Structure 1
Amino acid sequence: MKLVNVYHVDAFTQDSFAGNPAGVVPDADTLTVQQMQQIANELNLPESAFLMASDHPEADFRIRYFTPTTEINFCGHATVGSTWLLATERGWLEKGRPIVFETNVGLIPVTLDVEDGQLKKVTMTQIAPSVREIELDQAEVARMVGIRPEDLDDRYPMKLASTGGLHLLVPVRTYEAIDRAVPLFPELEALNRKHQITTTHLFTWNGPQGYDVYTRDFAPAIGIPEDPVTGAANGALAGYFVLEGFLEKGSVHHLVVGQGHAIQRPGTLYVTVEMTGETPVIRVGGAAHVTIAGQLRLKAE
């Protein structure tokens, strides 16, 4: 019998049963790709992260991400969850330096924010953001995500954005309209597959009290009907804000983003957008909570 340590970490929250749950397998060197996919399917969480040794001279770990149905190139909340686990249960906090992950999209450094010896949040620097056009019938998109066409906010263009995964950004006038959304998942899945979109990300500047931006995220094409609190998509959204001119260049902007409230898994992301050079720097941070720790029992090969 082969025993594999596995954790369930709720990311972008300080509480169990909130935020976005991630599976974390910190000792995945001996696992095959098939086993990683099977474990992710068994855990049935939005994403699971598998950590292993890296050959990259600047990386501390190689990390791979799997949804229940497929491998993806980058996942923000599973990165936060992995970092929190390493810091609080694997002794990394005492090292006093960032953790650098080698991902399919490049190196992702994650800093540990500590106050009075206690870990308060972790913050990842995502790869440089990009934005591109997409020709879509906006009323059809509204119908697919389950809102009214008049709920769309025409002050902001509907575009694709990325900091590692491709996200369709859908501007909405109010957070109430976002919360009312009832997507047509088969049609949304077909649209996302056609354009190789990882998630469809609804956003508004008209959020609940305490938040600058409020979002909701659907990802049926990768086996996740709704992703509760999304680090990658909100990082891409922040890149879109600055690249499209909605945030002033030459400045540093701090945004508090809320997500997950509509499905009773509220989470908070702390996003920093820095555009003092040629390329925006996007940092996404938050807390986490290790909710379950256990072992998987695999048959010996």
Structure 2
Amino acid sequence: MDTSTTQILRYTAFTTDPSGGNPAGVVLDAAELDDDAMLTIAADLGYSETAFVTARDERRRRFTVRYFSPLAEVPFCGHATVAAAVALAEGLGAGPLVFDTPVGEVPVDTGAGADGAVVATLTSVPTSSRPAEAVELDTALAALGWRHEDLDPALPPRVAFGGVHHLVLAAATRGRLADLDYDFDALAEVMRRAGWTTVQLVWRESPDLFHARDPFPVGGVVEDPATGAAAAALGGYLRDLGLVSEPTVVAVRQGEDMGRPSALTVAVGPDDARVRVSGHAVPLPA
């Protein structure tokens, strides 16, 4: 299929600075594109994900959205959701949107932030988590080049879900998080077998501030500068561990070690399985 006339927008999410955040492609009219065409566009862009709006009801502000990495379709992507929501809000005006995604309905609120730039808040599908099994943990640590002693014992390894699955590993020190040099092919194989979209590596600076890095080799990308779906999963992880006793807002700083700083805001409550992830998105220069 000829995609030469397809309008492809480029945004970077979870930042107000085009030099930061996580770039995403956005195609607002993908109704005529087949799977191969969408994968070709995503691969040509080379961003970790591209969002494709395949059906739209502007009166109800409801849209069907699919996501592709350079290698395959992805069931859900947080940063591309934020990017697509901001792009739609810039055309339709701020307000609530609803995205019908492969993992279910995802409401997204859009409005002006304190600096005037559009901010989007997605509400995840219900989150969940479970303890990581010994074998999957050991193989993941081996591929990362980490040891069990590198982990924070107060934040146990778990597989968390916020639309897609992520292995959450908490580093004991900021230095351990900063020193990321992993076996790309080995970790990709571990993740494919386990069905994980990213491995979310975090370090807790304080109860309401986390630093994160997310290897994404199964998508053909070494590392994500900002991962909204993983941030939602992290919120559910904190709730399941009993670390959230009242409605709480947690800041996640990501991309700092890559030179693309990103800011994600995660709102989680003790009795609500859905997590709200907020951030800006701005167009990238042509």
TM-score by length of 2: 0.92
Q: Take 2:6 and 2:164, find their aligned partners in 1: how far apart are those partners?
A: 29
The residue number in structure 2 matching 1:171 is 170
**Contact map agreement 2:124 2:275 (CA 8 A) in 1:** yes
Q: How far apart are the structure 1 equivalents of 2:110 and 2:133?
A: 40
Deviation at 1:22, TM superposition (A): 0.3
The answer to whether 1:260 aligns with 2:255 is yes
Matches within 5 A, 1:1-301: 3-54=5-56, 60-88=62-90, 90=91, 92-93=92-93, 96-114=94-112, 118-137=116-135, 138=137, 140-206=139-205, 212-248=209-245, 251-275=246-270, 277=271, 279-292=272-285
Q: How far 1:133 sits from its partner (Å)?
A: 2.9
Contact 1:11 1:289 in 2 (8 A): yes
Q: CA deviation at 1:221?
A: 1.8
- Percent sequence identity over aligned pairs: 35
Gaps of 5+ in 1: 294-301
Matched positions, count: 283
Stretches of 4+ aligned residues off by more than 4 angstroms: 137-140
More moved, 29-38 vs 169-178 = 169-178
- 1:114-148 Cα shifts (integer Å, max 9, x gaps): 25893441110011101123313555533322334
Verify the 8 A CA contact 1:142 1:152 in the aligned structure 2.
no
Tell me the secondary structure at the aligned position of residue 23 of structure 2.
Answer: strand
- Give secondary structure in 2 for the equivalent of 1:265: coil
Structure 2 counterpart of 1:202, one-letter code: L
TM-score w.r.t. length of structure 1? 0.87
8 Å CA contact 2:139, 2:190 repeated in 1? no
Q: How many Å apart are 1:292 and its aligned residue?
A: 3.8
Gaps of 5+ in 2: none
CA distance in 2, matches of 1:113, 1:175: 34
Aligned AA for 2:104?
G
Q: Find the aligned partners of 1:45 and 1:121 in 2 and give their Cα distance.
A: 21
- Cα RMSD (Å) of the superposition? 2.3
Instruction: Write the distance in 1 (CA, Å) between the matches of 2:205 and 2:255.
Output: 16
Q: Cα gap change, 1:206/1:139 in structure 2, threshold over 3 Å: closer, same or farther? A: farther
Counterpart secondary structure, 2:42: helix
| Structure 1 residues 288 and 169: CA distance shift in structure 2, 3 A | same
> What displacement does 1:267 show?
0.1
